[in-house]
Amino acid sequence: MENGATEVNSLTEQISNLETQEPKHNALQESSHDVVVTRVDDDPILSVTTFEDLKLNENLLKGIYEMGFTKPSKIQAKALPLLIKTPPQNMIGQSQSGTGKTAAFVLTMLSRIDFDLKSLQALCLAPSRELARQIMVEVLKMAKYTPVMTAEAIRESNVKSYTTGKSRNEEFAEAQLIVGTPGTVYDLFRRRIINKNTIKIFVLDEADNMLDQQSLGDQSIKIKNMMPKDCQIVLFSATYSREVRSFAERFAPNANQFSLKVEELSVKTISQFYMDCKNEQHKFQVLDDLYTLLTIGQSIIFVQKRDTADIIARRMTENGHKVINLHGGLSANERDHVMDGFRRGDAKVLITTNVLSRGIDVLQVNLVINYDLPTDATGKPDFETYLHRIGRTGRFGRTGVSINFVHDANSWEVVKSIEQHFQREIIKIEIIFPFNNIC
């Protein structure tokens, strides 16, 4: 019992400490993780140490500095010189979650655009509307001092834009840079609302997910097949399974590649724990108790199914916790409303499904709970989703905590396989009083 108490105290301390911790930028920028670089030529281009070294347009630099980016992260320093060089080369990029991949490809897109040419030149696809919107926010910040015309291609009613008074179709027709989800973008091409002929750069964020045939692969391939022949193809993700990487190599031929070994994929500043619950019902009790006992900054609770998200959101609310809930069953407006509230910090606890497992960047999130462990349709561990989910905390050198709920032999096996796969210990937290006495 004493041991358990110590562990929960130490967990409490860890989570409370996180609230006051500043990001360890230097730790991130000087991280010892060895990226394996495979180059398509032997130009002596090395990594840069400052954004000035990239010889970017002054107005882009101004935007970057206004965002508070003083120097490039490791992936930015290594990838940007290759991404922006002429003639353009394809890229298959990999780096850990929260290390600044977005800025690397956004800066590349903006650096390729001729602002005098009033046609679509850069296209970026992401797997969820929340991620597409987030990428657009980064585009708008970085491009603040440029005249770039942009449009977001996500599912929405066809209304006039509040900011410009133009209809969405007019905005699409004028856009030089579009960020969107594959279904909506494909539809815009099909209806000839956007024109592919002048596209110079095509980016897939969360590329392994976008190329996965079980997921968004079909749509991404259809769109890729429409791209002009000399279009630069840029793929970024924190994870590529072996099969997806070989498909990516065909999708983006002759690409410069950045890859990480599997044991280097998990971010060291994210502590990983598991709690051994008695059964499915006990999981809710443990969750309820955790939120009663601990002072937690912002956190995300992941479940496998929309129904579970609805049920635990309702029960947590009934028990007096302030939580919000986001999944694919909500309308576009509801999703935007929930996400915006979470980003503003109006709500501290977000319950969600895998729809938000990738890319979402809310720096204040210091705890991720895997209420249901990520598994595929057959119950086998989904390693990539696990890494993306826990990567919603510990962003850009910050520290974070992840807790996995285990409740039966299968979920125990899943946790053990994940631990073995990434070669990173997942530490047990004893469930102590009041947890034991309540159930």
Interface positions with ligand ATP (CB under 6 A)? 69, 72-73, 76, 95, 97-103, 238, 359, 361, 363, 391, 395-396
Report, in Å, the least distance between residue 391 CB and ligand ATP: 5
Cα four-point dihedral sign 187, 190, 191, 197 = positive
Tokens encoding 46: 């090395």
Report, in Å, the least distance between residue 238 CB and ligand ATP: 4
Report, in Å, the least distance between residue 18 CB and ligand ATP: 16
Residue with the two structure tokens 């044991």: 263
Contact 82, 232 (CB under 8 A): no
d(CA 325, CA 312): 9
Between residues 47 and 169, which has the closer beta carbon with respect to ligand ATP?
A: 47
Between residues 395 and 407, which has the closer beta carbon with respect to ligand ATP?
A: 395
Residue 254 φ/ψ region, left for φ over 0, alpha for ψ in the -120 to 50 degree band, beta for the rest: left
Between residues 182 and 400, which has the closer beta carbon with respect to ligand ATP?
A: 400
Between residues 69 and 186, which has the closer beta carbon with respect to ligand ATP?
A: 69
Residue 160 DSSP one-character state: B
Between residues 386 and 435, which has the closer beta carbon with respect to ligand ATP?
A: 386
Between residues 61 and 406, which has the closer beta carbon with respect to ligand ATP?
A: 61
At a CB cut-off of 8 Å and minimum separation 6, what does 27 contact?
A: 269, 397
Report, in Å, the least distance between residue 396 CB and ligand ATP: 3
Tokens encoding 219: 């749509």
Residue with the two structure tokens 């001729």: 114
Alpha helices of 214-360 — where are they, by DSSP H? 217-226, 242-251, 280-293, 306-318, 332-344
Report, in Å, the least distance between residue 423 CB and ligand ATP: 20
Contact 366, 377 (CB under 8 A): no
Contact 404, 426 (CB under 8 A): yes
Report, in Å, the least distance between residue 95 CB and ligand ATP: 6
Between residues 237 and 411, which has the closer beta carbon with respect to ligand ATP?
A: 237
Report, in Å, the least distance between residue 349 CB and ligand ATP: 20
